[in-house]
Amino acid sequence: MKLDPKADYIKVHADWHKAGIPGKTFYEKALYEVNKGYAIVVAPDAIKLTVKLPPLKERVLKRDKYTCQYCGKYGDTIDHLIPQSVYKIFTTEEMAVCACKRCNQLKSDKPMHVFIKELMKERILEMIDKEL
Ligand SMILES: [Zn+2]
């Protein structure tokens, strides 16, 4: 059975949901969860979660061992590689990294290439400071 891409929303069933009341999600997210093996399709407009996943933030922080992927220091926030405030898409584990508060604020909604340029400038200035 396949999910109906034209469905307004996809119902989400899970044994651990409050009183068996299904949640809702959208097609792309439901398809992602099915493809990852986190859910099975039970109707063209419904999936059933087969894995109880911890929240995205917890999964990303553990995967990256609480290390900021930009500066290597301790990090306890996650950065959405594609800013959610700019592009209204959902974030998967693959689209997020652990970041320290400073790097996360510095990156904000900037495109990645702009942020990397700023980081590189900063590093070069730090290196020059150490030389002097
Ligand atoms: Zn950082």
Give whole-number Cα distances, 90 to 7, 41, 82, 105, 123, in Å: 17, 20, 9, 20, 32
Whole-number Å distance between alpha carbons of 47 and 33:
9
Tell me the per-residue pLDDT of 65-98, one tens digit each, with 9 for 90 and over: 999 999 999 999 999 888 777 777 777 888 899 9
Residue reference for tokens 């989400």:
12
Going from the Cα of 114 to the center of ligand 1, the distance in angstroms, rounded, reads 16
Going from the Cα of 34 to the center of ligand 1, the distance in angstroms, rounded, reads 33
Going from the Cα of 108 to the center of ligand 1, the distance in angstroms, rounded, reads 12
- Helix (H) or strand (E) holding 42, with range, is strand 39-43
Token pair recorded at residue 48: 């059933």
Whole-number Å distance between alpha carbons of 50 and 130:
53
Going from the Cα of 119 to the center of ligand 1, the distance in angstroms, rounded, reads 10
Going from the Cα of 8 to the center of ligand 1, the distance in angstroms, rounded, reads 39
Is the separation of the CB atoms in 81 and 112 below 8 Å?
A: yes
Tell me the per-residue pLDDT of 33-56, one tens digit each, with 9 for 90 and over: 999 999 999 999 999 999 888 889
